[in-house]
Amino acid sequence: MQISEKLYKEALRYIPAGVNSPVRSFKYVDGTPIFIKSARGSKLITEDGSELSDYIMSWGAIILGHSSEVVNRAIVSALKNGTSFGLCHKMEIEFAKIFSNIFPDFLFRMVNSGTEATMSAVRVARGFTKRKHIIKFSGCYHGHSDQFLTSSGSGLATLSIPASNGVPEEFTLCTITLEYNSDIEILKNTFKKYEIAAVILEVLPGNMGIVPPKKEFINSLISLCRANSTLIIYDEVITGFRTGWGGIAGERKVEFITFESGIKKWESFEISIPDMITFGKVVGGGLPIGVFGGRREIMEKVAPSGDVYQAGTLAGNPISLSAGLAVLNFISETKNFYHILKEKTIALSDLLIEEFLKKGIPVSIVSGTGMLSLFFSEKVPQNFSDVKASDKKLFNRFFKVLLENGVIIPPSPYEAWFISLQHKEEDFEKIRKAIKKL
């Protein structure tokens, strides 16, 4: 990786830590950033010319595979009509319609990132309920707006920074951070103590690795919200259109497979539609996007129909929407799309189970459709504290051995692996080979 190292040194002169987002720094694995030249299908080509089977997939934004023909064609065709109008265009309707068909009587707004989507959703929830406090869960990541940087999953957790400097204490006073899968008593007490505007959560959290939700936890949380007129917001920036059409809320069910102490278990339970929902990643087909929506009466609070301000120069950008539409239309026109993606994920998970059992290294695995987490701990983590207790040294060694064998996984156990439609047996077999050498 000589060229990458050279480029990294150069980048350090102009960009803080040489990266535009902390996870790219490879700090957790004591490495340096890898520079990518191009990407196609399930593969990345680095500036050094090596080909890597990619399980980062732009952190879940890519689901059809890199440089997909349908997406590229859509982008090129949209480009001919201009890159941004700052005014209304037809694709916005076509795009929003897909979401409204899944969530009847919901309205949706398009923004430029997941961060914007969650930030705006919470503002609207506060405006609608006329309450201040929100609940979030430790290890769930909702982008980097001040109010959410109380105890964060992704980048921050990896770098072991307790919260973020630069966020005034006053700005997080209205955020209550609880442990994921908390006891019902803790939830009840919190609702007793505060008037809560909204609870925001990832129903299948993917930002502390994938942590399986407990049915009782989710159900009591939802009923407490209903009983207290608190809005519930599902942050489906990762899971939206990855685990299923419309994500977990779209499928009205959450589904996952766990493997721990030698036992593989398939779990699934029904879940109701939230009051509000956020999307990102997959729905932009690899271009910047975020979407937030909710019940009509809530969303009508957004300016200019209501008095909650929210705006964006590039919101609903035609190039982003063309890419997003290409992906969503491709999925809806492909028979068994999610079945195929699920089978691929299961195949990878089974391979990992088989090889680590042979190796005698205790691991636990959690997977949903198109996403997977491997933990170097005997038991599946139940919350962020459990995740943090898994074996860091072993993870780092595994990451390096994979890389030497032409495979890149997220350089942190706090990030899920992502599988695209283009991942094939050959991509999985490279992992088998690497584990044998571990």
Ligand X SMILES: *Cc1c(COP(=O)(O)O)cnc(C)c1O
The sign of the torsion formed by the CA atoms of 202, 268, 376, 221 equals: positive
Q: What are phi and psi of 15, to 5 degrees?
A: -125, 135
The residue of the chain with the least Cβ separation from ligand X equals 114
- Cis peptide before 304, with omega less than 30 degrees from 0? yes
* 48: CB partners within 8 A, 6+ apart: 1, 2, 3, 4
Q: Give the nearer residue to ligand X in terms of CB position, either 145 or 190.
A: 145
Q: How far apart are CA 242 and CA 274, in angstroms?
A: 18
Q: Give the nearer residue to ligand X in terms of CB position, either 152 or 258.
A: 152
| Smallest gap from residue 319 Cβ to ligand X (A) | 16
Would residue 235 show up in a list of annotated catalytic residues for this protein?
A: yes
Q: Give the nearer residue to ligand X in terms of CB position, either 187 or 283.
A: 283
Instruction: Show the site string, 286-315: x = touches ligand X by CB under 6 A, - = not.
Output: ----x-------------------------
Q: How many residues bind ligand X (CB under 6 A)?
A: 14
Would residue 309 show up in a list of annotated catalytic residues for this protein?
A: no
- How far is residue 203 from each of residues 212, 222, 237, 367, measured CA to CA in Å? 9, 11, 11, 13
* 160: CB partners within 8 A, 6+ apart: none
What 3-state DSSP class applies to 50? Answer: coil
- Report how far apart the first and last C-alpha atoms of the chain are (Å, whole number): 21
Considering only residues 235, 355, 415, 427, which one is a binding residue for ligand X as defined by CB under 6 A? 235
Place of tokens 């960009």: 15
| Smallest gap from residue 112 Cβ to ligand X (A) | 8
List the structure tokens of 363. 């691991």
Q: Give the nearer residue to ligand X in terms of CB position, either 237 or 374.
A: 237
Exposure b/e, 255-274, CB count within 10 A at least 16 = b? bbbbbbeeeeeeeeeebebb
Q: Which stretch binds ligand X (CB under 6 A): 113-121, 178-186, 302-310, 397-405?
A: 113-121
* 220: CB partners within 8 A, 6+ apart: 184, 187, 188
| Smallest gap from residue 95 Cβ to ligand X (A) | 17
Q: Give the nearer residue to ligand X in terms of CB position, either 111 or 299.
A: 111
Considering only residues 238, 287, 341, 374, which one is a binding residue for ligand X as defined by CB under 6 A? 238
Instruction: Show the site string, 34-63: x = touches ligand X by CB under 6 A, - = not.
Output: ------------------------------
Q: Which neighbouring-strand residues pair with 280?
A: none
Q: How far apart are CA 79 and CA 404, in angstroms?
A: 39
Q: Which of residues 166-205 bind ligand X (CB under 6 A)?
A: 202
Q: Would you give the distance in Å from CA 430 to the centre of its chain?
A: 25
Sheet holding 263-270, edge to edge: 263-270, 253-260, 364-368, 371-375, 417-418
Q: Does 113 bind ligand X (CB under 6 A)?
A: yes
List the structure tokens of 137. 């869960």
Q: Which of 27, 43, 136, 281 is catalytic?
A: 281
Considering only residues 207, 258, 320, 345, which one is a binding residue for ligand X as defined by CB under 6 A? 207
| Smallest gap from residue 189 Cβ to ligand X (A) | 26
Cα diameter, the chain:
61
Phi-psi region of 71 (alpha: psi -120 to 50; beta: other; left: phi over 0): alpha
Q: Which of 54, 235, 275, 427 is catalytic?
A: 235
| Smallest gap from residue 271 Cβ to ligand X (A) | 16
Q: Give the nearer residue to ligand X in terms of CB position, either 118 or 369.
A: 118
Q: Which of residues 116-155 bind ligand X (CB under 6 A)?
A: 118, 141-143
Considering only residues 280, 285, 368, 370, which one is a binding residue for ligand X as defined by CB under 6 A? 280
Q: Does 282 bind ligand X (CB under 6 A)?
A: no
Q: Which stretch binds ligand X (CB under 6 A): 108-116, 121-129, 307-315, 346-354?
A: 108-116
Q: How far apart are CA 247 and CA 99, in angstroms?
A: 11
Q: Which stretch binds ligand X (CB under 6 A): 34-42, 109-117, 171-179, 353-361?
A: 109-117
Would residue 194 show up in a list of annotated catalytic residues for this protein?
A: no
| Smallest gap from residue 143 Cβ to ligand X (A) | 4
Q: Give the nearer residue to ligand X in terms of CB position, either 113 or 175.
A: 113
Considering only residues 114, 316, 318, 368, which one is a binding residue for ligand X as defined by CB under 6 A? 114
| Smallest gap from residue 173 Cβ to ligand X (A) | 22
- How far is residue 212 from each of residues 272, 311, 335, 389, measured CA to CA in Å? 17, 35, 28, 16
Q: Give the nearer residue to ligand X in terms of CB position, either 106 or 234.
A: 234
Considering only residues 237, 249, 331, 352, which one is a binding residue for ligand X as defined by CB under 6 A? 237
Q: Does 95 bind ligand X (CB under 6 A)?
A: no
**Binding footprint of ligand X on the chain (CB under 6 A):** 113-115, 118, 141-143, 202, 207, 235, 237-238, 280, 290
Any idea which residues carry the catalytic annotation?
Answer: 141, 235, 281
